[in-house]
């Protein structure tokens, strides 16, 4: 099983839709989880951390399911500007973060 797995997409959704991505991880000892956003030909940027109890930042909600070893990102009321690749990131103890290959989202007018 790969360390971090994501559906590559693309997810094509209309403006205003709600879309959710899941990401599974293999190391049950992982303690830190993040979602990054990467625009085409740009660097990844931290979108939000994922906390055990789940957390929300405006239209974005992140959740963690330790029992099933997955994290999720929910985007409500999608905007055209949300079009990007979303990277799931997990730590594995005292070593560098592990990045998923990303899920591509296209929001269509």
CB of 61 to another protein, least distance (A): 18
How many Å apart are CA 24 and CA 108, to the nearest integer? 27
Instruction: Give the nearer residue to another protein in terms of CB position, either 17 or 97.
Output: 97
* Site residues for another protein per CB under 8 A: 31-32, 34, 41-46, 49, 87, 89, 91, 93-97, 99-102
CB of 45 to another protein, least distance (A): 7
CB of 72 to another protein, least distance (A): 18
Instruction: Give the nearer residue to another protein in terms of CB position, either 73 or 78.
Output: 73
Instruction: Give the nearer residue to another protein in terms of CB position, either 90 or 107.
Output: 90
């Amino acid at each position: 099983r790969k360390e971090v797995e994501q559906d590559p997409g693309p997810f094509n959704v209309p403006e205003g839709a709600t879309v959710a991505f899941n990401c599974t991880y293999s190391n049950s000892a992982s303690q830190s989880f993040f979602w990054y956003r990467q625009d085409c030909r740009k660097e990844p940027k931290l979108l939000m951390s994922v906390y055990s109890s789940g957390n929300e930042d405006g239209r974005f909600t992140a959740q963690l399911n330790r029992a099933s070893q997955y994290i999720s990102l929910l985007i409500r009321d999608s905007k055209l500007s949300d079009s990007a690749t979303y990277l799931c990131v997990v730590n594995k103890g005292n070593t560098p973060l592990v990045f998923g290959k990303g899920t591509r989202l296209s929001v269509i007018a």
